[in-house]
Amino acid sequence: MKYLSNLRNCTLLLIYFYNTGNTSIVKYSIQAENKVTVQNIFGYPFKIVTNWGKSNYFEYINSDEIIQLKTFPVKSDETAHAFIDNRLSMFQSVFEPKRVSYPGQYSRTIECPEKYKPKYFEHNTSKDSLSYFLGYANNNKVAGACSDDLIVYKHLYGMLYCRSTQTIIEIEYFTNLTSNSTDQFIDRILCQTAL
Amino acid sequence: MRIKITITIVFIALFWGCNTTKKDKVILDNKEVMDLSCQDCNVIFLNMDLLRADYVNLIRPNHNITPNIDAFFENSIIFEDVSSIAGVTGLSNMATLMAVDGAFTYALLNETYQDVPPKYQLPYKYLKLFSSHLPTIAEVLNAEGYETTNLNHGWYTGKQMLLNRGFDRYWGYFEVGMNENIPAKVLNKTKETIQRKEKTNNKFFLLVRSEDLRSLPYQYPAGRSHINDPRIHYKKMKPDYYEIYYQRTPEGELAVKWPSSAKINWMSDSTIMEYQKLSRALYSQQLTFIDEELGKIFSTIQNSLLLDKTIIVLYANHGDGLYDNKIPNHGVSYQSCVSVPLLIRHPKINKPLRIQKSVNLIDLVPTIYEMLNVNLPKSIDGISLVKTIKNGSYDRPYMYGVDKESQYIRVGMMKLIVWVDFTKELYNIATDPHEQKNLSSQHPELVDSLYAIMINHELEQMDRALSLLNNE
Give ipTM to 2 decimals.
Answer: 0.80
- Identity (one letter) of the amino acid at A50? T
**So what's the pLDDT on residue B73?**
98
- Would the CB atoms of A91 and B405 count as touching at under 8 Å? no
What is residue A3's predicted lDDT score, i.e. its pLDDT? 37
Give the DSSP per-residue string, A5-44: GGS-SBPEEEEEEEEETTEEEEEEEEE-SSS--EEEETTE
**How confident is the model at residue A97, as a pLDDT?**
55
For the cut 90, the answer to whether the pLDDT of residue B376 exceeds it is yes
Given this model, what pLDDT does residue A83 score? 94
- pLDDT class for B213, splitting at 50, 70, 90? confident
Distance to chain B for A176, nearest Cα, Å: 20
Length of chain B: 472
B430 and A CB contact within 8 Å? yes
Q: Which residues contact A2 (CB under 8 A, 6 or more apart)?
A: none
Q: Is a pLDDT exceeding 70 seen at residue A93?
A: yes
Q: For residue A24, which residues of chain B lie inside 8 Å, CB to CB?
A: 18, 413, 428, 430-431
Find chain B residues with C-beta within 8 A of A15's C-beta: 10-11, 14-15
pLDDT of residue B323: 86
For residue A25, which of B83, B334, B434, B432 has the smallest C-alpha distance?
A: B432
Which residues of chain B lie closer than 8 angstroms to A103, CB-CB?
88-91, 109, 113, 115, 120, 156, 404
> Considering CB atoms only, which of B109, B259, B449 is closest to A109?
B259
Question: What is the rounded CA–CA span in Å between residue B382 and residue B168?
Answer: 25
Of A83, A93, A100, the CB nearest to B462: A83
Q: Does A127 or B26 have the greater pLDDT score?
A: A127
Per-residue pLDDT reduced to its tens digit, B122-160: 888 999 999 999 999 999 999 999 999 999 876 677 888
Q: Is B107 on the interface with A (CB under 8 A)?
A: yes
Q: Within an 8 Å CB–CB cutoff, is residue B423 touching chain A? A: yes
| Rounded distance between C-alpha atoms, residue B111 and residue B186, angstroms | 32
DSSP tag of B142 = H
The packing angle between helices B183-198 and B269-302, to 10°, is 20
CA atoms within 13 A on the CB side of B248: 12
Higher pLDDT: B40 or B216? It is B40
So what's the pLDDT on residue B174? Answer: 59
Strand A119-124 to B310-316 pairing: unpaired
Give me the helices (H) in chain A, please.
77-93, 182-188
B6 to A10: CB separation less than 8 angstroms, yes or no: yes
Chain A partners within 8 Å of B88 (Cβ):
103
- Per-residue pLDDT of A12-43, as tens digits, reads 333 333 232 222 333 333 333 445 688 899 99
Give the model confidence (pLDDT) of A98-126 as tens digits.
432 223 233 334 467 788 889 999 998 87
Q: What is the mean pLDDT of residues B312-336?
A: 92
pLDDT at B275: 78
Which pLDDT does position B189 carry in this prediction? 86
B452·A4 Cβ contact <8 A: no
Establish, for the pair of chains A and B, how many residue pairs have beta carbons separated by less than 8 Å: 181
Three-class SS state of B343: strand
CATH topology of domain B40-215+260-393: Alkaline Phosphatase, subunit A (3.40.720)
Dist CA B14 CA B9 (whole Å): 8
pLDDT higher than threshold 90 for residue B340: yes
| DSSP-based three-state secondary structure for B377 | coil
What band does B29 get if pLDDT is binned at 50, 70 and 90?
very low
With b for 16 or more beta-carbon neighbours within 10 A and e for fewer, the B340-356 pattern comes to: bbbbbbbbebeeebebb
- B-chain residue closest to A107, CA distance: B259
CB contact under 8 A, A100 and B115: yes
Q: What is the pLDDT of residues B284-293, one digit of tens each?
A: 988 988 898 8
Mind telling me how many Å the CA of B294 is from chain A's nearest CA?
A: 28
The mean pLDDT value of chain B amounts to: 85
Residue A59 predicted with pLDDT over 50: yes
Mean pLDDT, residues A49-75: 89
pLDDT at B327: 86
Domain boundaries, chain B: 40-215+260-393
| Portion 381-410 of B in contact with A at CB < 8 A | 395, 397-398, 404-405
Which of A16, A79, A106 lies at the smallest CB-CB distance from B259? A106
Cβ neighbours of residue B81 closer than 8 Å, sequence gap 6 or more: B53, B339, B356, B357, B358, B359
- Calculate how close chain B gets to A125, using CA atoms only, in Å: 23
Do the bridges between strand B77-83 and strand B359-360 make them parallel or antiparallel, or are there none, so unpaired?
Answer: parallel
Residue B6 pLDDT more than 80?
no
- Asked if A112 and A150 count as a contact pair (C-beta separation under 8 A), the reply is no
Answer yes or no: is pLDDT of B422 > 90: no
Average pLDDT, chain A: 76
Q: Say whether pLDDT at B5 is over 80.
A: no
Chain B, residues 133-172, CB within 8 A of chain A, namely 156
Cβ atoms of A55 and B452 within 8 Å: the answer is yes
Q: Is A131 helix (H, G, I), strand (E, B) or coil?
A: strand
